Structure 1
Amino acid sequence: MQPGGWAGQGGSPHRVPGSSCPPHQGVCVAGYGQCDGNEILQLIPPPTLLTKETQGLCPERDFKVECGGFSERPVYSLKYVPDTSLLVTSGPPDSSLQVWQVSAEDSDVIKSVSTIATENGTGQSWAKIATISARAPWVLHGSRLDRVQITEVESRKNVYTAGIQASQGSEELSSLAFLDCNLLLLCCATGRLCLADTRQPQGLVEAVPAPSAPCSEHWCMGTRHAAQGSEPSSQPVARLSSRGLLALTDLRKTSEFLAVAKARVPSPGSGAEFLCVSWAPALEGYLAISGFDGTVHVYDTQSWDSSGREAEPIFIHKGHVFGGAGGSRDPPLVTVHTWHLQKPRTLLSAASDGSLHVWDWVQPCGKCG
């Protein structure tokens, strides 16, 4: 495993595993060390993770490497392109994207196939990315609010550029998401949310101002996939700050918060870049957060209100703290986590020591049912 941790996606996470499964239900991970040989691997999960039903004891509990490759630059974000065998990555020293082909059956190599250059990309911070294949394989990418665009992955053709008004500024972006094939949601590092519609190229529309908080706070967001038949904007958006403040918002009613709570986390110091908040895809009202230390916290938001009081996690995964992977003297930092798409209480998480964990959490007694 690469020193410095992992980044990724697949059925996995960012800066470590990924999010949304590549072919054959694999998990893709990548390194982000400052060297020329950062690994990109597709791992085959143990059999118990490939079935929807909960199984008993399974003799095979380890991931196996199916194929892999090397990136000349650090991989800070990795996304699988749905319905293809392609991966898109980004990382320093600029905002360009790298496109990778996951190996065919007769090869065990993940190979670089193209680079998506961005206008004025030199000197810009690495690009945040999101992918979709509703019309064609698209990647949404940008490092700042005034440099957001959608590119068709295979042809590298620009299909959309978000307009920007002078009053909207040029803030650093922390997160991007497709709400559907037309609606885009952008989260600035300041916590401000902006909506964009690919059918209306006249500009961005500010959806929600930043929560009231010190200017030094860094924010990220997590969106939940809309249930079949529902409007994408009906799903709540969670924002997480570097001090552990959580704000839940309904994009249909942006004048007030659905709920505000304070997570019980330490100060992240310089680790704000690893902040991660995600909604459980198969459990109503549950989310997980990480990026503050070597733990992942799971919360039930259904009883939250707008008071901003401290919230009690219903489960804390501490496996990375005690795992000791890589032999590093520094305490590991969880760099990304993601939820299993079919197993409601199963998550994947990765840390700066190169460890990758798959784990379940148990509903506390008294809250079952």
Structure 2
Amino acid sequence: MHTFELQAPTRLIEWARGDRECEAGSAEGRRGGLCPERDFKVECGGFSERPVYSLKYVPDTSLLVTSGPPDSSLQVWQVSAEDSDVIKSISTIATENGTGQSWAKIDTISARAPWVLHGSRLDRVQITEVESRKNVYTAGIQGSEELSSLAFLDCSLLLLCSATGRLCLADTRQPQGLTEAVPAPSAPSSERWCMGTRHAAQGSPPSSQPVACLSSRGLLALTDLRKTSEFLAVAKARVPSSGSGAEFLCVSWAPALEGYLAVSGFDGTVHVYDTQSWDSSGREAEPIFVHKGHTFGGAGGSRDPPLVTVHTWHLQKPRTLLSAASDGSLHVWDWVQPCGKCG
């Protein structure tokens, strides 16, 4: 395991071109910046005048898109040429009725052109062309629930998850946009939800990959978008309830391991699960690995127990993850398959 100290806590880790990763400070009132030279080798950096709560690299370009309070507008950044170490702000994408709305969740794609999918509520989701700032699609979805997650499945299919656990599958080729709505598992209304998607294998339809939804009480529901009438599996993660806030809930599929996912946002740990034996019983699932490194304290010297704010899987190394916590610690770590489950 490798441990690093960030200048301040981060809530995002995003992979860019090659083996590079982006992170930014997200605290209110603090100028965001990349980690110092004593940590990772810093190639380039910049400063934001507003908190950065989400950051997405635009594939096949030198562009980044960020969002954060106090409204739902987006900021577009350019990673400068090789002879410069500056990430500079180049434009702002304003949103209709953006004032007073919560910060926008975002995803990006470059299948047709550099696009950004963004929105803060189900009824305010659109696709904007990054460079021209032209609106190219608005989803026709009824309901004003707050968005917790959204994702491009491909250049035509969009998946949205509301904080109440409702999944909406939209198709940009259809005028009305909405093609399917999947209700959340029966749960108290105080629960908050997020989702994790996995890119489909080459040659298979994007809807063939299961979607994982995670609630603030640790409930995990796996959904097959080709058959939305029932859940593939439902299980309870072995984690404490994070309460009604659930600000840092995170669930992600391993990109190179079939059926494995990771969960964080409840305490100072990251849990790895093998979902291949799960059923619809909803019983508690046993994690195959728990990363506890952040619980031993870290960079910030905070008296409060650290909370993992984000994690992500390494793109090339199947069993390697990155995770960050509220004390400013950043860990790069591997997990090992228990001997009893090898083979």
What range is the shorter-chain TM-score in?
Answer: 0.7 to 0.9
Shift of 1:356: 1.4
Shift of 1:207: 3.0
C-alpha distance in structure 2 between counterparts of 1:35 and 1:63, whole Å = 11
User: Cα distance 1:223–1:82, how it changes in 2: closer, same or farther (>3 A)?
Assistant: same
Q: Output the TM-score relative to the length of structure 2.
A: 0.88
User: Cα distance 1:198–1:72, how it changes in 2: closer, same or farther (>3 A)?
Assistant: same
User: Cα distance 1:304–1:80, how it changes in 2: closer, same or farther (>3 A)?
Assistant: same
For the pair 1:178 / 2:152, whether they are aligned, the reply is: yes
C-alpha distance in structure 2 between counterparts of 1:145 and 1:235, whole Å = 22
Shift of 1:56: 32
Gaps of 5+ in 1: 1-5, 8-30, 37-52
Shift of 1:136: 0.7
User: Cα distance 1:76–1:283, how it changes in 2: closer, same or farther (>3 A)?
Assistant: same
User: Cα distance 1:32–1:283, how it changes in 2: closer, same or farther (>3 A)?
Assistant: closer
User: Cα distance 1:200–1:330, how it changes in 2: closer, same or farther (>3 A)?
Assistant: same
Cα deviation per residue 1:227-277 (whole Å; 9 max; x = unaligned)? 000010010000000000000010111111110000011121365021010
Higher mean Cα deviation, 202-211 or 109-118? 202-211
Cα deviation per residue 1:256-299 (whole Å; 9 max; x = unaligned)? 11100000111213650210100001000000011111111000
**Residue 63 of structure 1 aligns with which residue?**
40
Partners of 1:32 and 1:75 within 8 A in 2: no
Query: What SS class does the counterpart of residue 105 from structure 1 fall into?
Result: coil
C-alpha distance in structure 2 between counterparts of 1:318 and 1:219, whole Å = 23
Q: 1:247 aligns with which of 202, 221, 239?
A: 221
Higher mean Cα deviation, 170-179 or 56-65? 56-65
Higher mean Cα deviation, 239-248 or 197-206? 197-206
Cα deviation per residue 1:294-323 (whole Å; 9 max; x = unaligned)? 111000000100000000100011111114
Partners of 1:33 and 1:74 within 8 A in 2: no
User: Cα distance 1:346–1:60, how it changes in 2: closer, same or farther (>3 A)?
Assistant: farther
Cα deviation per residue 1:161-191 (whole Å; 9 max; x = unaligned)? 1113xxx321111000101100000001000
Shift of 1:33: 23
User: Cα distance 1:32–1:353, how it changes in 2: closer, same or farther (>3 A)?
Assistant: farther
User: Cα distance 1:227–1:154, how it changes in 2: closer, same or farther (>3 A)?
Assistant: same
Higher mean Cα deviation, 196-205 or 71-80? 196-205
Cα deviation per residue 1:308-344 (whole Å; 9 max; x = unaligned)? 0000100011111114211111111111111111111
C-alpha distance in structure 2 between counterparts of 1:187 and 1:222, whole Å = 10
C-alpha distance in structure 2 between counterparts of 1:346 and 1:189, whole Å = 29
**Residue 87 of structure 2 aligns with which residue?**
110
Query: What SS class does the counterpart of residue 325 from structure 1 fall into?
Result: coil
C-alpha distance in structure 2 between counterparts of 1:32 and 1:280, whole Å = 16
C-alpha distance in structure 2 between counterparts of 1:306 and 1:260, whole Å = 5
Cα deviation per residue 1:337-361 (whole Å; 9 max; x = unaligned)? 1111111100111111222111000
C-alpha distance in structure 1 between counterparts of 2:155 and 2:339, whole Å = 41
Aligned pairs (5 A) from 1:114-263: 114-164=91-141, 168-263=142-237
Instruction: Provide runs of 4+ in structure 1 moved above 4 Å.
Output: 31-36, 53-62
Shift of 1:64: 1.4
Identity %: 94
User: Cα distance 1:107–1:301, how it changes in 2: closer, same or farther (>3 A)?
Assistant: same
Shift of 1:59: 19
Partners of 1:90 and 1:126 within 8 A in 2: yes
- Paired residues, what number? 322
Partners of 1:271 and 1:292 within 8 A in 2: no
For the pair 1:363 / 2:337, whether they are aligned, the reply is: yes
Alpha-carbon RMSD across the aligned residues, in angstroms, is 5.6
C-alpha distance in structure 2 between counterparts of 1:327 and 1:35, whole Å = 24
Q: 2:50 aligns with which of 66, 73, 86?
A: 73
Partners of 1:249 and 1:258 within 8 A in 2: yes
Partners of 1:34 and 1:74 within 8 A in 2: no
C-alpha distance in structure 2 between counterparts of 1:282 and 1:57, whole Å = 28
C-alpha distance in structure 1 between counterparts of 2:68 and 2:34, whole Å = 39
C-alpha distance in structure 2 between counterparts of 1:263 and 1:252, whole Å = 25
C-alpha distance in structure 2 between counterparts of 1:268 and 1:179, whole Å = 29
C-alpha distance in structure 1 between counterparts of 2:203 and 2:318, whole Å = 21
Partners of 1:207 and 1:251 within 8 A in 2: no
Partners of 2:192 and 2:244 within 8 A in 1: no
Shift of 1:61: 10
C-alpha distance in structure 2 between counterparts of 1:102 and 1:180, whole Å = 25
User: Cα distance 1:34–1:131, how it changes in 2: closer, same or farther (>3 A)?
Assistant: closer
User: Cα distance 1:55–1:93, how it changes in 2: closer, same or farther (>3 A)?
Assistant: closer
Partners of 2:123 and 2:140 within 8 A in 1: yes
